[in-house]
Amino acid sequence: MPQGPENKVDLRPTLELTPGADGPAPWLDRRRFLKSAGAGFGSLGLLDLLMRQGVVRADGGDVPQAGAGMMKPRSPHHAPRAKAVIFLFMYGGPSGFDLFDPKPVLQKSDGKTADFSINTFFDGKQQGKLMASPYKFKPHGQCGQQVSEVFPELAKCVDEIAFLKSCHVDSNNHGPAMIQMNTGVIRVGLPSMGSWITYGLGSENNDMPGHITMYDWRGGPINGAQNWSSGFLPSNFQGTAFRSSGTPILDLQRQPGISAQQQMRQIKLIEQLGRGYRQANPAEADLQARIESFELAYRMNAAAPGVVDLSGESEETKALYGMDKPVSRYFGTQCLLARRMVERGIRFIQIYSGGGNQQESWDAHLGLKVNHDMHCAETDRPMYGLITDLKRRGLLDSTLIVWGGEFGRLPIIQNYSGKTGGRDHNPQGFLMWMAGGGIKGGVSHGQTDEVGWKATVDPTSVNDVHATILHQLGIDHERLTYLHDGRAYRLTDLAGEVIEPILA
């Protein structure tokens, strides 16, 4: 673009240097940092930089410190109702109207062709035949909430639960829908909610990761670790996969033949031999945090087995979680572990029910009843146990439990075998529930149409669900942001409203 010299203006911004000081990096000295950050805009170049480096929360909240210290607790935006979240992720997509939201019209229309065509995942647009629910329902609790016969135990807890009956996601496919349920959008690469939450609040446990994922005995869900990825946030906030027996965390166990004492000697020598190098480079915060990371690793080695050591739990407690029955032992153990993690100040715990594909997960294409019979039996008593146990220990008020999958199921039949039929994916209207953590019990929010296909009243987006979870934790979802690629990102993308009617 040729230009005359007279109108050529150099608009290059001049370089602003960031003043530092001798000694440790300024963000290691929290008081000094906050003072300088609050002192006026002269030092905002520093704030900007730290934000880009991910060592300061973009909303100007407390400063996550570099290195392993990034998990230190930080103050929320407003008084929190919940301190921890347990997200029970029913991977594959459970059917809301077969479990909690009976549809009389659907019951009366079994085998009839719907007078509208429905977008199905496998067969395109279908004039499918409606399939009545194979389950019987009964009202429960003070609130009279209907619950299917496959959840006899959980049904006792309905007065603690708020049902979200009109949820929707943007994809009809497991992969993107799960990514959306975990990160807010359907494309991969963004941070998961557990990462956002620990980025915002840190964790109250000094010896364990603050963001933990436990997955099904059959294996992990679709997308694997992308579901608990920290995306572009520092990897400190990545979810840690935690197994309920054996070695709970990867690389946690010492190699055979090496004693704790020998390993401690190893760590001490690392500290000693590296001292000179660290002292020569006082400005490198990541370098300074290394010894802390080894110490945390060592403490984790001691603390994590303590989490999975259930010898101190009574038989009554174990039975409460269904651990006395083979069918519910695995999920029950994970629910009990979740309670123990909450007690230890761990911030975000996600448990996946269902692994692999098809019937191994809640993905009931090949038979709704056989699928849900199995998965409900695995989870019913454990969920009852979790709510009941948290309540009697006074922890339910401060622990938010969220239940749901990546979508729900269609009211029409699929793969009819002559005896039973399956149900295809339904992203347009499905059910989730929340309990504890300042959520009003015994209420419902939203509705789907008379057969349960589409959300019709008060549709609830994934962004709304996320906004509500953050709100209960004391976080304003619009203010928890992170600058990346020229834009301030947030968990709720560009939308999301707190679901006020279900708040206690």
Partner 1 sequence: MRRLLGGGLSLFIIQAAGLTLGLLAIHSIASGAEPQPTTPKDEIHQKAGKHKKAVITPEAISTPVDFARDIFPIFQERCFTCHGPQKQKNNLRLDAANIVMAGGASGPAVIAGKADQSLLLQRILGQGSEQQMPAEGKPLTGRQAGLIKAWIDQGAKWPAGVGVADAKVNVHWAFERPGRPRVPDVADGEWARTPIDRFILAALEARKLAPRKDAHRSTLIRRAQMDMVGLPPTPDDIDAFSSDESPDAYERLVDRLLGSPAFGERWGRHWLDIARFGESAAYEYDNDRPNAWPYRDFVIRAINQDLSYRTFIQWQLAGDEIEPSNPMALAATGFLTAGPAQDNKPTPLENFDSLDDTLSTAFGATLGMTIGCARCHNHKYDPIPQRDYYQLLAAFTGSKRIDFELKGFSGDGMSVKSLGMTDRGPKPPKTVILNRGNPEMPGDPVAPGFISALTDSAVDGGRWKAASAQPEKTTGLRRTVAQWMADPKHGGGFLMARVIVNRLWQHHFGQGIVRSSGNFGLTGDPPSHPELLDWMAWKLIDDDWNLKPLHRMMLTSRVYQQGTDFDAKASAADFDNRLLWRRAPQRLEAEVIRDSIMAVSGTLNQKMGGPSIRPWIHTDAIATGNSKKWPDNIKDGPATWRRSIYIFTRRSILMPMIESFDGPNAMTPLTKRMTTTTAPQALFFLNNEFIHEQATHMAKELIRTTGGSRDKMVMELYRTALGRMPEAAEFDPAGSFLSSQMAEYAAGLPESERSRAKLMALRDLCKVVLSLEEFIYID
Segment 350-379, which members bind partner 1 (CB under 8 A)? 355-357, 361
Which range in 18-26, 78-86, 144-152, 340-348 contacts partner 1 by CB under 8 A?
18-26
Q: Which of 471, 489, 499, 502 binds partner 1 (CB under 8 A)?
A: 489
List 182, 223, 426, 460, residue binding partner 1 (CB under 8 A): 223
394 binds partner 1 (CB under 8 A): no
Here the tokens at position 491 are 């968990």
**Interacting positions 196-215 with partner 1 (CB under 8 A):** 209, 215
Restricted to residues 155-194, the positions that interact with partner 1 (CB under 8 A) are 170-176, 179, 186-189
HSE (side-chain half, CA atoms, 13 Å) at 59: 20
Closest approach of Cβ 161 to partner 1, in Å?
A: 29
Token pair of 24, please? 């440790």
Task: Give the whole-angstrom CA distance, residue 58 versus residue 113.
Answer: 53
Measured from the CB of residue 129, what is the shortest distance to partner 1 in angstroms?
22
Task: Assess 240 for contact with partner 1 (CB under 8 A).
Answer: yes
Residue 44, number of CB atoms within 10 A of its CB: 15
Is 2 an interacting residue with respect to partner 1 (CB under 8 A)? Answer: yes
Contact present, 199 and 237 (Cβ < 8 Å): yes
| Joined tokens for residue 124 | 């395109």
Q: Is 222 in the site for partner 1 (CB under 8 A)?
A: yes
The footprint of partner 1 on residues 252-311 (CB under 8 A) is 252-255, 257-259, 261-263, 265-267, 269-270, 272-274, 276-278, 280-284, 286-287, 289-290, 292-294, 296-298, 300-301
Helix (H) / strand (E) element for 139: namely: strand 137-140
Q: Which residues contact 111 (CB under 8 A, 6 or more apart)?
A: 129, 130, 131
Toward partner 1, which CB reaches closer, 269 or 504? 269
User: What residues from 444 to 483 belong to the interface with partner 1 (CB under 8 A)?
Assistant: 476, 478-479, 481, 483
Judged by CB, which is closer to partner 1: 324, or 497? 497
Structure tokens at 28: 């290691």
Using CB under 8 A, which of 13, 326, 394, 418 touches partner 1?
13
Size of the site for partner 1 (CB under 8 A): 132
SS3 168: strand
Structure-block tokens of residue 351: 């448990």
Residues 41-70: x where in contact with partner 1 by CB under 8 A, - otherwise, as a string: x--xxxxxx-xx-x---xxx-----xxx-x
Left if phi > 0, otherwise alpha if psi is -120 to 50, otherwise beta: which for 130?
beta
Q: Which is nearer to partner 1, 2 or 418 (CB)?
A: 2
Query: Which residues share a beta bridge with 193?
Result: none
Distance CA 246, CA 252 (A): 10
Q: What minimum distance in Å lies between the beta carbon of 359 and partner 1?
A: 13
Among 21, 19, 33, 22, smallest CA distance to 64 is for: 33
Specify the 3-state DSSP secondary structure of 171. coil
